[in-house]
Amino acid sequence: MKRQLLRKLRKIVGEGHVESSTEDMLCYRYDGLERGAPPDAVVHPASVEEVAELVRAAAAAGKPVVPRGAGTGLSGGSVPLTGGIVIDLNHMNRIRAIDRENLIAEVEPGVINWDLKTAADGEGLFYPPDPSSTRVCTLGGNIAENAGGPCGVKYGVTGDYVLGLEAVLPDGNVIRTGGRNRRDVAGYDLTSLLVGSEGTLAVVTAATLRLLPRPPARRTVLLSYRELAGAGAAVAAMASSGVTPAALEIMDGITIECVEKYRPGYLQVGAAAALLLEVDGEAEGVDAQLERARAACQETGGEIVFTASDEQEAEELWESRRAISPSLGRLAPAKIGEDISVPPARVAEMIGRIQAIATDHGLTIAVFGHAGDGNLHPNILTDRRDAEQMRRADMAIKELFAAAIELGGTLSGEHGIGLAKAGFMDGAIQAQALGKMKEIKRLFDPDGIMNPGKIFG
């Protein structure tokens, strides 16, 4: 059976575009954080037609299909649970067009986020969604996770930029949703339904994305705090100041120390917290904006450590921010990276809860994230070989989610549910709403072949 299916897959995508050796399959057990079962085969299609044929072949053989981009996901979305066929979209990586007049990009799913940003920038345009994995993650993965990033506080997340999609359904048919219109209220919004669906409804094979004119000026400032709570309180102070920053990123003392060891720069080791603040806009108004934003941060105890004087220095500050995840890996053999989201005014309170949970369970929890829009990443630093510590970490995770929900927040702000949080959906989503989500899944995928086990367990 397996040999027959492999032959069929090779016929669809060509001999060199199917992998099935044990060694290769082991690599696809993992994403950025989670691990599952090795797939039966990995295929690298080059067109929507090939993807459609692959999905049909998998359905006929009763094999699960797992779409995969760069595998940087942090919730196990691209990790097979029970084998099946991984459809790796990395070969479909063309930016087909950048339409300056309509501020639109036409892309394939395997385009790297940074490559689209760079291409747009070359045209004086701006593609805002900026996950810290920007240099490696794919737009297909961003769409499937509705990925965000630091500039989400002002510019929103991936879903705010997706105008239209082409995708292959679990029966092999191709669906086209939305289009090139900024305003489009014709019928149900299927584009938004597919965004954030984590590859459980369809395989995205092309996207029409909205671009913006590039903001002419930006100012980037690093502030240091003696109290972590002060940095959290700056979020509410910022809202009262009337300034919407382009980014407001928080790092606690543990995070600062790790990043500085890994990539020495401007962060102040010994500080309880740092905020990375950016404002952007027209050159004439940007300094006044910065002044007000800075005053809001200083009101809650922030001291300015560094002001970037040019684009290069600003980019260096951002490289330090992007270095957080890899640098934390040096402090402990493993980390459990969480992704809770609370209303911005509750950030300070949520930080207090995280610290209390860490103390109660004798754990080290580093805290960083997109404080400006309430999305925090408590990272529990662990050693998977220490069963007793893992048990405490499990309890801490449950308490973190419970605290976020109690404060009006939710399980994930950007990393998705995947395998990692499927077990917590019941407590986070109203029963009626969760029931409708499951009905939608069954409607799209009655045989349950599309990325099974994700979101709903």
Ligand X SMILES: Cc1cc2nc3c(=O)[nH]c(=O)nc-3n(C[C@H](O)[C@H](O)[C@H](O)COP(=O)(O)OP(=O)(O)OC[C@H]3O[C@@H](n4cnc5c(N)ncnc54)[C@H](O)[C@@H]3O)c2cc1C
Provide φ and ψ at 145, rounded to 5°: -100, -5
Q: Does 278 bind ligand X (CB under 6 A)?
A: no
Binding flags for ligand X, 289-318, as an x/- string (CB under 6 A):
------------------------------
Binding flags for ligand X, 163-202, as an x/- string (CB under 6 A):
-----------------------------------xx---
Q: Does 109 bind ligand X (CB under 6 A)?
A: yes
State how far the Cα of 32 lies from the Cα of 381, in Å rounded to an integer.
15
Q: Does 258 bind ligand X (CB under 6 A)?
A: no
Q: Does 138 bind ligand X (CB under 6 A)?
A: yes
Q: By CB under 6 A, which span of 134-142, 238-246, 299-307, 395-403 interacts with ligand X?
A: 134-142
Residue 79 contacts residue 31 (beta carbons within 8 Å): yes
Q: Does 327 bind ligand X (CB under 6 A)?
A: no
Q: Does 420 bind ligand X (CB under 6 A)?
A: no
Q: Read off the tokens for 225.
A: 């705090």
Return the SS3 of 377.
Answer: strand
Choose which of 5, 13, 42, 70 interacts with ligand X (CB under 6 A): 70
Choose which of 132, 300, 320, 412 interacts with ligand X (CB under 6 A): 132
Q: By CB under 6 A, which span of 130-138, 217-225, 295-303, 437-445 interacts with ligand X?
A: 130-138
Q: Comparing C-alpha atoms, which of 346, 337, 336 is closest to residue 405?
A: 346
H or E element: which one contains 210? strand 203-210
Rama region for 330: left / alpha / beta (φ>0; ψ in -120 to 50; rest): alpha
In whole angstroms, the minimum distance from the beta carbon of 327 to ligand X comes to 10
Pairing of strands 65-68, 85-88: parallel
Q: Does 144 bind ligand X (CB under 6 A)?
A: yes
In whole angstroms, the minimum distance from the beta carbon of 388 to ligand X comes to 28
Q: From the centroid of its chain, how far is CA 206? A: 19
Choose which of 38, 45, 64, 73 interacts with ligand X (CB under 6 A): 73
Q: Read off the tokens for 73.
A: 């996901």
Q: By CB under 6 A, which span of 68-76, 178-186, 327-335, 358-366 interacts with ligand X?
A: 68-76
Provide φ and ψ at 5, rounded to 5°: -65, -40
Q: Comparing C-alpha atoms, which of 57, 60, 89 is closest to residue 167?
A: 89
List, in order, residues 6 or more apart from 244 with CB less than 8 Å away.
153, 154
Looking only at residues 398 through 417 of this chain, which bind ligand X when binding is defined by CB under 6 A?
A: 414-415
State how far the Cα of 418 lies from the Cα of 197, in Å rounded to an integer.
10
Q: Does 142 bind ligand X (CB under 6 A)?
A: yes
In whole angstroms, the minimum distance from the beta carbon of 335 to ligand X comes to 11
Q: Read off the tokens for 419.
A: 């395998």
Q: Which residues bind ligand X (CB under 6 A)?
A: 31-32, 66-74, 77-78, 89, 109, 131-133, 137-138, 140-142, 144-145, 147-149, 198-199, 203-204, 325, 414-415, 451
